[in-house]
Chains A and B, each alone.
Chain A
Amino acid sequence: AQKITQTQPGMFVQEKEAVTLDCTYDTSDPSYGLFWYKQPSSGEMIFLIYQGSYDQQNATEGRYSLNFQKARKSANLVISASQLGDSAMYFCAMREGRSDSSYKLIFGSGTRLLVRP
């Protein structure tokens, strides 16, 4: 069964420093997609970054980058130059199923990030 594990329930980071949020996954499908979402206290799910299993390069979106290590089945999110507004819950998710068109996702339990001034 496919599974997403986020082992850090909470993290602290100093403003302007970089932080890595861990995510490991388990799947037997050769084709899959990995997502990261930010959930601020207001509750909405904000898409941050996506990595396909066949993508050769690690995904980057502004201050977000995904450290994709396929052999280790990990997809860690790196946030560079943390800002106070980065304080939120962060969820790793995987597209389940063989179809690349699917948006049926399974989520990890999340990591709460607090950025200290």
Chain B
Amino acid sequence: EPEVTQTPSHQVTQMGQEVILRCVPISNHLYFYWYRQILGQKVEFLVSFYNNEISEKSEIFDDQFSVERPDGSNFTLKIRSTKLEDSAMYFCASSDGAGQGHFGPGTRLLVL
């Protein structure tokens, strides 16, 4: 069964550093998403991406965040200058437009 993959599985970074989280969505999916889950809390929507542009973003997705689909397979989330409160699990998801989607396994980000 096709699946969404994410790299790295874990990332430790210093406050103020830039991080790029990578995702490979399912190949025939056209809609891409990033979600965040701070430890012990609910999963929160960050951004959706379709047709090479952001279709919707949440209040959390401020100017320090950006997303990109640099080639035909990868979908990335960049955090320009990480803060302690960015420590969380970041999930990528993709869907085929029929309303069903798949989550990736997540990247656990720790900002020190």
Residues of chain A whose beta carbon lies under 8 Å from any beta carbon of chain B? 33, 37, 43-45, 47, 50, 52, 91, 93, 95-96, 100-110
Whether the Cβ atoms of A105 and B97 lie closer than 8 Å is no
A45 in contact with B43 given A101-B31, A103-B93, A104-B56 (CB within 8 Å)? yes
Give the residues in chain B near A107, CB-CB below 8 Å: 42-44
Q: Which residues from 33 to 53 on chain B have a C-beta closer than 8 Å to any C-beta of chain A?
A: 33, 35, 41-45, 48
Give the residues in chain A near B41, CB-CB below 8 Å: 109
* B77 interface residue per 8 A CB criterion: no
Residues of chain B whose beta carbon lies under 8 Å from any beta carbon of chain A? 31, 33, 35, 41-45, 48, 56, 89, 91, 93-95, 97-106, 108
Give the residues in chain B near A104, CB-CB below 8 Å: 33, 45, 48, 56
Give the residues in chain B near A95, CB-CB below 8 Å: 99
Whether the Cβ atoms of B56 and A43 lie closer than 8 Å is no
Query: With A and B bound together, what is the CA distance between A45 and B93 in angstroms?
Result: 10
A44 in contact with B106 given A50-B100, A95-B99 (CB within 8 Å)? yes
Whether the Cβ atoms of A47 and B98 lie closer than 8 Å is no
Contact of B99 among A43, A93, A101 (CB under 8 A): A101
Whether the Cβ atoms of A44 and B93 lie closer than 8 Å is no
Give the residues in chain B near A101, CB-CB below 8 Å: 31, 95, 97-99
Whether the Cβ atoms of B101 and A103 lie closer than 8 Å is yes
Contact of A91 among B33, B43, B45, B94 (CB under 8 A): B43
Give the residues in chain B near A45, CB-CB below 8 Å: 43, 91, 103, 106
In the complex, what's the smallest C-beta–C-beta distance from A77 to chain B, in angstroms?
Answer: 16
Most buried by B among A47, A91, A96, A107: A107
The 8 closest A-B pairs by CB, nearest first: A103-B101, A103-B95, A45-B103, A107-B43, A101-B97, A44-B105, A107-B42, A100-B99
Query: With A and B bound together, what is the CA distance between A106 and B98 in angstroms?
Result: 18
Whether the Cβ atoms of B45 and A105 lie closer than 8 Å is yes
* CB nearest neighbor in A for B9: A43
Most buried by A among B56, B95, B99, B100: B99
Give the residues in chain B near A108, CB-CB below 8 Å: 42
Give the residues in chain B near A47, CB-CB below 8 Å: 102-103
